[in-house]
Structure 1
Amino acid sequence: MNYSNIRQHLEDLEIKTLHPKAAKSLYAKRDVQEEECPVRTKFQRDRDRILHSKAFRRLKHKTQVFLSPEGDHYRTRLTHTLEVAQVSRTIARALRLNEDLTEAIVYGHDLGHTPFGHAGEFILKENGSYHHAKHSLRVVEKLENEGKGLNLTEEVRDGILKHSKGKSPLITEGNMPKTLEGEIVRIADKIAYINHDLEDAIRAGIVSESQIPEYIVKVLGKTKSERISTIVISVINTTIENEYKHIVMDEKVYNAMYSLRDFLYENVYFAEPVIKELDKAKGIVKALYEYYLKNYHLIPNYEKYLKLWGEYSPNQAAVDYVAGMTDRYALKKYSEIFIPKVWAVV
Structure 2
Amino acid sequence: MRHELEEREARFLDPRAQLSRETRGRLKPETECTLRTAYQRDRDRIVHCKAFRRLKHKTQVFLSPTGDHYRTRLTHTLETSQIARTIGRALALNEDLIEAVALGHDLGHTAFGHGGESVLNDLVPGGFFHNEQSLRIVDILEKNGEGLNLTHEVRDGILKHSKGRADPILLDPEARAETLEGQVVRVADITAYLNHDLDDALRAEILSADAIPPDIRMHLGARHSQRIHAMVEDVIHSTLEGDLIEVRMSEAMLARVDQLREFLFEHVYDLPQVREEFRRVRKIIEDLFDVLMKDDAVFREEIGTPRDGTLKERQVYDHIAGMTDRYALDLYKKIFLPKPWMKL
TM over 0.5: yes
Q: Deviations over 1:289-313 (max 9, x none)?
A: 121122364265543x72xxx4111
For residue 79 of structure 1, report the CA deviation from its aligned partner. Answer: 0.3
1:298 matched to 2:300: yes
Aligned to 2:21: 26
CA distance in 2, matches of 1:345, 1:246: 68
CA distance in 2, matches of 1:301, 1:150: 20
CA distance in 2, matches of 1:205, 1:168: 27
CA distance in 2, matches of 1:140, 1:209: 40
Q: Deviations over 1:3-53 (max 9, x none)?
A: xxx100111111111111111110111121111111100000000000000
Identify unmatched segments of 5+ residues in structure 2: none
Task: Indicate the SS of the match to 1:231.
Answer: helix
CA distance in 2, matches of 1:334, 1:21: 50
1:81 matched to 2:77: yes
Tell me: CA distance 1:299–1:148, structure 2 relative to 1, closer, same or farther (3 Å). farther
Q: Which residues in structure 2 correspond to 1:98-117 (within 5 Å)?
A: 98-117=94-113
How many pairs align?
Answer: 337
Indicate the larger mover: 228-237 or 248-257: 248-257
* Residues 303 and 319, structure 2, Cα contact 8 Å, conserved in 1: no
* Residues 142 and 148, structure 1, Cα contact 8 Å, conserved in 2: yes
CA distance in 2, matches of 1:96, 1:299: 50
1:47 matched to 2:43: yes
CA distance in 2, matches of 1:146, 1:336: 25
Give the letter aligned to residue 201 of structure 1: A
Aligned to 2:241: 241
Indicate the larger mover: 293-302 or 142-151: 293-302
1:136 matched to 2:134: yes
Aligned to 1:62: 58
Aligned to 1:276: 276
CA distance in 2, matches of 1:318, 1:172: 34
Report the TM-score, using the length of structure 2 for normalisation.
Answer: 0.95
Aligned to 1:189: 189
Report the TM-score, using the length of structure 1 for normalisation.
Answer: 0.95
Aligned to 1:9: 4
* Residues 111 and 323, structure 2, Cα contact 8 Å, conserved in 1: yes
Q: Percent identity?
A: 49
Give the letter aligned to residue 131 of structure 1: F
Aligned to 2:149: 151
Aligned to 2:309: 311
For residue 318 of structure 1, report the CA deviation from its aligned partner. Answer: 0.6
Tell me: CA distance 1:81–1:9, structure 2 relative to 1, closer, same or farther (3 Å). same
For residue 333 of structure 1, report the CA deviation from its aligned partner. Answer: 0.5
Q: Deviations over 1:93-147 (max 9, x none)?
A: 0000011001100111111011101111111111222110000000000000111
Aligned to 1:127: 123
CA distance in 2, matches of 1:300, 1:315: 14
Tell me: CA distance 1:141–1:300, structure 2 relative to 1, closer, same or farther (3 Å). farther
Aligned to 1:3: none
* Residues 58 and 72, structure 2, Cα contact 8 Å, conserved in 1: yes
Give the letter aligned to residue 337 of structure 2: I
CA distance in 2, matches of 1:174, 1:282: 34
Tell me: CA distance 1:301–1:291, structure 2 relative to 1, closer, same or farther (3 Å). closer
Give the letter aligned to residue 9 of structure 1: E
CA distance in 2, matches of 1:41, 1:172: 31
* Residues 6 and 20, structure 2, Cα contact 8 Å, conserved in 1: yes
Task: Indicate the SS of the match to 2:175.
Answer: coil
CA distance in 2, matches of 1:300, 1:13: 48
Q: Deviations over 1:223-270 (max 9, x none)?
A: 111111011011001101101121011111111122011100000001
CA distance in 1, matches of 2:290, 2:183: 37
Indicate the larger mover: 233-242 or 26-35: 26-35
What's the Cα RMSD here? Answer: 1.3
Task: Indicate the SS of the match to 2:110.
Answer: coil
Aligned to 2:213: 213
CA distance in 1, matches of 2:290, 2:190: 32
For residue 273 of structure 1, report the CA deviation from its aligned partner. Answer: 2.3
Give the letter aligned to residue 284 of structure 1: I
Give the letter aligned to residue 183 of structure 1: Q
* Residues 2 and 37, structure 2, Cα contact 8 Å, conserved in 1: yes
1:228 matched to 2:224: no
For residue 173 of structure 1, report the CA deviation from its aligned partner. Answer: 2.9
Identify unmatched segments of 5+ residues in structure 1: 1-5
